[in-house]
Structure 1
């Protein structure tokens, strides 16, 4: 029997960082314990100068490992950074070398400063907390900075907005590596929403409820989720909740951060991924049940949004015995 080596995740700690930022990658990637499922990741925390590391919370953490952990990590997580501090040449070189070797680099929140300083995102796009975006863009003009999205995934470089978005981004990494089922199990263990798309705005005035309430957008979302396999046009959708089309579109974007059309695509992609991972349905049938109509349309959206095909996704993420879907 072939034993698969765990996917090694190296998380960088530094003096004065928030313990929350340090805890996020471990909370999502660490395997087992309590209600957490086994994820296949092996997480190690390292620092440029191992030992007692002061945090912004007034207590210290002890880090045993140094930057050598980056030399064979599969994923390097930079969970934050102090913008007032210039990273040392040794730290910048360690991040750059890990990336050149093939490691995925994940910069959460202000960790985008380290990503930008390493040069691995020159000519590319990074996301960061909206408050830091103007300064980051000014200091690193070779990088395109986005403050209007939750995360940016370039494949080899992943960056995110702050705080809660870091959790969303780590869940996105699990979903990318292991599929929808495991990511949803991790989200349930952490009592988190299973999926917020990276294109969602950082500003969301109110949460989205799966159950209908008095708010017309809540009712519209519930109505659409029960009919994802059916054609849904904007006029019919807005009429269901007795709201004019223009008003409905504005309220929907205010609530979810995306347009009604993009939200539908995101929900249909999530359903298609789950069906591909857990059933033996043909791609044509998956496309029909997810609301895309045809396999060609499904493939088009998979290529545009997920950079893969339905067949390759099924081959990569089949984790359980296929279920029978009536």
Structure 2
């Protein structure tokens, strides 16, 4: 295998909430595609130091270290080279960004991100930017109680909701999912079910058993396909199938699964570092663990009890 090229990159946002993209020169590797600004980490440099240097050299800006946080780490192997992208979110900087190396720049709305074409290694970055930091997972409830749970979860900071209602039939779940989607327009509502049961919905989450039984995702017509993972083997299966993100559990001891051995934060960090997928910490975590999760390389947290009344 060729030597891995370590790259520091940034998703840079201005005061208006717009995201900065740069266009790669046609003569470059993956030329003619849009990218997130950055460059190689030199020997002896920390990733943050490399990021600050590259953005000053490329764009003429000085990033604020207090407003610069980890977004995602992406190991990716092209046929001709391997890269490790260390990506940070930059929410504040000084100076006016311009292409110091002649590269075209463009500020866009986050909602426009999917209209642009990126190198394959950048797709997980796109997903990480579009996904929320928190997912509330529903407990088993009576159908009429789910709206109250979602209302409470949103007040407690949930950015998305996963409908997990395995005590109901597939038909009852679909009816409930359809009604909740209409009631909470604009909310990322994820259905924890099978592809066969939910091929027409926008977002499906698979159990680890269903993940390991899946041959490919070609039959799925929605936008987001994710899965529950508990091991390196399952994470590799999710990558092979081209899933968009995963949950990884249990990170800590949980009352719902007292016999399950927790991964712990060190093992969570290790497993996250080996995958290019956005990863949500699940199991014994809450919004209070969000900063720790992000520092460990995770996308965010997913939880049940932390979003209940």
- Alignment TM-score > 0.5, same fold: no
TM-score using structure 1 length? 0.29
**Greater RCO between the two (CA within 8 Å, min separation 6)?**
2
TM-score using structure 2 length? 0.30
- The structure with the largest alpha-carbon Rg is 1
Greater strand percent: which structure? Answer: 2
Greater helix percent: which structure? Answer: 1
